[in-house]
Amino acid sequence: MMNAPKGFIHHRDKFLGRISNIYNHILPKHSIFREDWNNMIILDACRYDYFKKAIKKIDIKGKLQKTFSIASHTLPFILNTFTKDKYDDIVCISTNPYIDREVGHKFHDCIPVWKDIWATVYGGTVIPTDIIPFVLNATIKYPNKRLLIWFVQPHSPYLFHELNPNGVYMGRYSYEILKIYKMFFWAYLPVSELRRRYMDNLLLVLKTCKRVLRMLHGKTIISSDHAECLGHFYPFTPFRVYGHYKDVRTPSMYKVPYFICD
């Protein structure tokens, strides 16, 4: 693998960051609070186009809309979404440590599933089905509260693959000219394989969502905090982007599903 000079990479990312700021200002953005709901299921890093294909395979009934997230990364998403001091009507069931650290105190209760069931064998994640008992307990303990249920998937690590004994192959920081990724294994996979693994993760979590929906009452929405680049080209450039970032952003990182379950 040939590495580009670090100085070039710095200027490349700085240039793309400036373009990203333009996208950030002109793209429409919608909050998960744009309408009332009883339950909100967040699929971390879920693309609209992949969700549209996957939901048909899993056969969950409802109405799918395309929407644009307010951020391209989990941290700015939660900081710009949960802006009030308190959301006492919401109980959060969290598989993402960001949630607990940054906004967990704002909810009536925040149940940190990841602290109890963290699958290190897959590189550090929560397997979708492991959240089911926590959802069931929350519906019993908090019958009059709204539920915010946050899944890690389809975000990496991609479950049940064998890149190494731990299930992932962690890459170093890349100085490749035409690839943008930092500390992830994504760019070490062929693009076709990467996208297949991503879809596998999405199908796995949607199968669990279908089971969870049977426990929930009232209006349930499935959405995402941001989307994901899977070796797609940065618009009008030869640069392939992997993952999602706070600084280098593309329109596809904002485009997420908004699915109102029947």
Task: Indicate whether 15 belongs to any domain.
Answer: no
- Measured CA to CA, the distance from residue 120 to residue 63 in angstroms comes to 36
**Sheet harboring 229-233: ordered strands across?**
179-180, 240-243, 229-233
- Measured CA to CA, the distance from residue 226 to residue 73 in angstroms comes to 6
The pairing of strands 87-94 and 146-151 is parallel
Cα angle vertex 218, ends 199, 41, to 5°?
Answer: 25
- Measured CA to CA, the distance from residue 201 to residue 198 in angstroms comes to 5
Query: What is the number of domains present in the chain?
Result: 1
What's residue 157's pLDDT? 83
Contact 112, 103 (CB under 8 A): no
Q: For the chain, how big is the Rg over CA atoms in Å?
A: 18
CA-closest candidate to residue 226, choices 46, 33, 25: 46
Q: For residue 117, what is the domain's CATH number?
A: 3.40.720.10
Average pLDDT, the chain: 90
Query: Between the CA of residue 50 and those of 73, 100, 187, 202, what are the distances in Å?
Result: 18, 28, 19, 8
- Measured CA to CA, the distance from residue 154 to residue 44 in angstroms comes to 6
pLDDT tier, 170 (very low <50, low <70, confident <90, very high otherwise): low
193-232 confidence digits (pLDDT tens): 889 999 999 999 999 999 999 999 999 999 999 999 999 9
Q: Does residue 140 carry a pLDDT above 70?
A: yes
Task: Indicate whether 213 belongs to any domain.
Answer: yes
What's residue 168's pLDDT? 47
**Quick one: tokens of 235?**
């618009």
Task: Indicate whether 182 belongs to any domain.
Answer: yes
**Owning domain of residue 158:** 27-261
Task: Indicate whether 2 belongs to any domain.
Answer: no
Contact 246, 257 (CB under 8 A): no
Q: Does residue 174 carry a pLDDT above 80?
A: no
Q: Once rounded to an integer, what is the mean pLDDT over residues 48-73?
A: 97
Task: Indicate whether 7 belongs to any domain.
Answer: no
For 95-234, strand residue ranges (E) read: 107-112, 146-151, 179-180, 220-223, 229-233
**Quick one: tokens of 77?**
């998403």
Task: Indicate whether 4 belongs to any domain.
Answer: no
pLDDT tier, 4 (very low <50, low <70, confident <90, very high otherwise): low
User: 17, exposed or middle or buried, with CB in 10 Å at 0-12, 13-18, 19+?
Assistant: middle
3-state secondary structure of 149: strand
pTM, 2 dp: 0.93
Cis amide bond preceding 154, omega within 30? yes
pLDDT tier, 187 (very low <50, low <70, confident <90, very high otherwise): low
Q: Does residue 139 carry a pLDDT above 50?
A: yes
Strand partners, 63: 260
Q: Could you tell me which residues come within 8 angstroms of residue 87 by beta carbon, excluding any fewer than 6 positions away?
A: 106, 107, 108
